[in-house]
Amino acid sequence: MTAPQAVGSDRTSRQPDMPAVARWCAAQGWPVHPLAPGRKTPPANCQACQESPHSPAECPCTRVGRWCHGFHAATVDQDVINAWWTVNPDFGTGVACGPAGLVVIDIDSHPGDVPARDRLLPGIPIHEHVNLDGLENGYHTLALLAALRSSPDPAQDTSTLRVRTPSGGMHVWYRDDADLRFTCSTGSSTGRALAWQVDVRAHGGYIVAPGTTTSAGTYTALPGAWMPAPLPRWLSEELVRTGHLKDRPETRPTAQPPVPDRARQAVVAAGGGKRGAERILDTVLQDVTDCATTPEGAGFTGKLNRAAYTVGGLVSAGHLTHGDAEQLLLDAARTARPTQDRHSSAVIRSGLAAGARQPLHIGKARG
């Protein structure tokens, strides 16, 4: 199936057929929902939802084919889609990224003051001797991140769907990692962020479909592929490193075993019994196993990622072997989340690989 004429149209050519955009996206298996005419935000909820606020999970509207609650109402049901766009053919199209299995890198190009160096690429120090003259927007920070990882710039990736936004930014569409689920962020955040002026659209968010027209212009597919390619491995690792992994519901054990004694033995065997390394290893593994007592909201994935990153630094510095490190982390993860080996193993692999780039040298403890 080829993309419709609507995908890739711009305001100087024939206006897109907005219902056709929605139908085409749904045919790709991407759940869609309406956007208010001329805007990139969903239309208002029904009167009942406005008068009695409630969570999307509690709302009966989606079960009867209403579009309340934005991307939570997204569907691939062509009959429902036809009914929605019959009500208003000028609706734009939003795609619910999580259910669609998409991770979209949203590159902004907004004028504004460049932030401090430690906020350009969160978690990556940029030394004063690095010349940042000319750095102005998300295109530059993403290219810098790619260069640091010796990887291609996603903005130049013609193997995947890229969409020019009316403001001059770009959406780079990828299929998400088969083993991992990522969540959204904004590039201006002081918490979770991939790079300054680079947003991430994934679980918990939506993206404007190519071919959608707003008052500012049309979201236009660029030359190259018109379908998303798999998320590059290096970008997956960066999303893990920057805390974008989404926790999954898991079954919790009733008891919490302690951190295995093998942790200390592994450090002694490989690194001569360094007390500093022992303390670090004990602490990060305990942070993971502590999650066993919390049914939800413990931040398990983030803690496991941080532990793997730290332990990767210990491995790189020679304090323990890679095999011991991987097994210790998996043992701790199984203590907290015994049914999630596949997910935990993927987090551990990515975290160890990222941490290995930053050896964690620990001096000998005194006394």
Domain ranges across the chain: 18-241, 262-355
Closest CA to 46 of 62, 32, 31: 62
178, pLDDT greater than 80: no
Q: What is the pTM of this model?
A: 0.68
How large is the average pLDDT for residues 267-287? 64
**What are the residues whose beta carbons fall under 8 Å from the beta carbon of 262, sequence distance 6 or more?**
324, 327, 328, 331
pLDDT at 3 over 80: no
pLDDT score recorded for residue 76? 94
Residues whose CB falls within 8 Å of the CB of residue 80, separated by 6 or more in sequence, listed in order: 65
pLDDT mean across residues, the chain: 83
pLDDT of residue 297: 58
Which is higher by pLDDT, 239 or 298?
239
Q: What is the pLDDT of residue 318?
A: 86
Confidence band, pLDDT 50/70/90 cuts, at residue 294: low
Residue 70 has pLDDT above 70, yes or no: yes
Provide the pLDDT for residue 250: 38
* Per-residue confidence (pLDDT) for residue 11, from 0 to 100: 37
Specify the pLDDT at position 296. Answer: 55
pLDDT at position 37: 94
For the cut 50, the answer to whether the pLDDT of residue 157 exceeds it is: yes
Backbone torsions φ then ψ of 201, nearest 5 degrees? -110, 115
Name the pLDDT band for 286 (thresholds 50, 70, 90).
Answer: confident
The torsion defined by the Cα of 77, 79, 85 and 87, in degrees rounded to 10, comes to -130
Report, as an integer, the average pLDDT of 51-74. Answer: 84
Mean pLDDT value across residues 87-112: 94
pLDDT band for position 256 (50/70/90)?
very low
**pLDDT per position as a tens digit, 179-219:** 788 999 987 776 789 999 999 999 999 999 999 999 999 99
Choice between 364 and 350, residue whose per-residue pLDDT is larger: 350
Q: Does residue 259 register a pLDDT over 70? A: no
Average pLDDT over residues 112-128: 88
Lowest mean pLDDT among 25-34, 75-84, 298-307: 298-307
Among residues 194, 84, 270, 50, which one has the least CA distance to residue 74?
A: 84
27-56 residue pLDDT tens: 999 999 999 999 999 998 888 888 887 788
The Cα diameter of the chain in Å comes to 78
Shortest CA distance to 352 belongs to which of 251, 273, 268, 240?
Answer: 240
Q: What pLDDT sits at residue 242?
A: 92
Kindly tell me if the per-residue pLDDT of 14 is higher than 80.
Answer: no
330 Cβ contact partners less than 8 Å away, ≥ 6 residues apart:
341, 344, 345, 348
